[in-house]
Amino acid sequence: MASTPSQATAVPLRPELFEFIGVQGLGRLACCSAALREELRDAKAWQRLANATMPRSKREAELAAERDAAARVRSHVLRRRLADRLSRGAVEPSFRPNKITDFTFFVRFEEHGEVIWEGDLKGCEFNDGNLTFSLSEAWSQMKNAWAGMANFLLDDNIYYDGYGDIYMQGVSITVVAIRDEDQAMISLGHLHFDDCVGDAYAAKQIYIFESHEPVLRVPPCRFRPWAVLLMTHDANGNGTLDFLELGLMKRGPQDDVCTLHEFEFLLSYLAGIHHEAREPALETIESEF
């Protein structure tokens, strides 16, 4: 009985290594299979190799050498500065939290696990404990591809036909905060539909999403992200996703919403701070938040 051939294991390409493989090595790699040859073409392997091997002008070589020398000098200066500070006696570095405007928020909307739209949101306002982002531009991009939501917004009696809760149970929001200066990322979680608190028969409705997992545990509190989606229902087809609001809820002996200062402090702490400032920052969270 003939054996069934095993499925080939996918090996990811490493484009950053193409410049070291050499012409002969890259040629042999391209001859392995048609599929691999196509992947190399898509990754512009030959172009990368050509850019790395083509002769540089004397001026380019001088500039490259100067940049390398500057990097080495900068590295030595920084390590000597740190050694000097330690030899004089370490002073605890001050922790200055980033402002909320120093972050970009990557948001993804899904319906039953299918990605409908994802993109960066910035330029928020802080209202009632939440960061508020306009979704007008995002909705114009996604409305033609999100038939389910477009049909959902046509129903202006949504909570009297029982369809509202059923449909929204399939909608989820994923949020990642990115600190602009160093691209440090903080997962604010995968948020699921929890409740609607809009007025009956009102065109404007408010939908609440919560994460099942906290972003930080500092006994006795847990800090859990939540989102509020504000929509306009319109039977004439003019329904919209208006705003997305993001917030952090303190779950503990007394539930409360984080203030703007607390939100900024926690985001900055989670994005990463100087290792010598971590313990004092954590003590601040424990004692003041």
What does the pLDDT read at residue 254? Answer: 81
What does the pLDDT read at residue 3? Answer: 45
Q: For the chain, what is the total number of helices (H) and then of strands (E)?
A: 9, 11
Phi, psi of 278 (to 5 degrees): -65, -45
pLDDT in tens, the chain (289 residues): 444 444 444 556 676 666 667 777 777 877 887 877 888 888 787 777 777 666 666 667 777 778 888 888 788 887 887 787 767 765 556 788 899 999 999 999 999 999 999 999 988 888 877 899 999 999 999 989 999 999 999 876 665 555 677 889 999 999 999 999 889 999 999 999 998 887 777 888 899 999 988 999 888 888 999 999 999 998 888 899 999 999 998 888 888 888 889 999 999 999 988 777 888 888 888 877 7
What does the pLDDT read at residue 162? Answer: 59
What does the pLDDT read at residue 1? Answer: 45
Contacts 24+ apart (CB under 8 A), 111-115: 111/146, 111/148, 111/149, 111/170, 111/171, 111/172, 112/170
What does the pLDDT read at residue 218? Answer: 87
Beta carbons within 8 Å of 264's beta carbon, 6+ residues apart: 97, 98, 99, 100
CA dihedral 17, 23, 27, 30 (to 10 degrees): 30
Domain ranges of the chain: 15-53, 100-288
The tokens describing 84, both together, are 């000097």
Residue 53: other Cβ atoms inside 10 A: 10
What does the pLDDT read at residue 16? Answer: 66
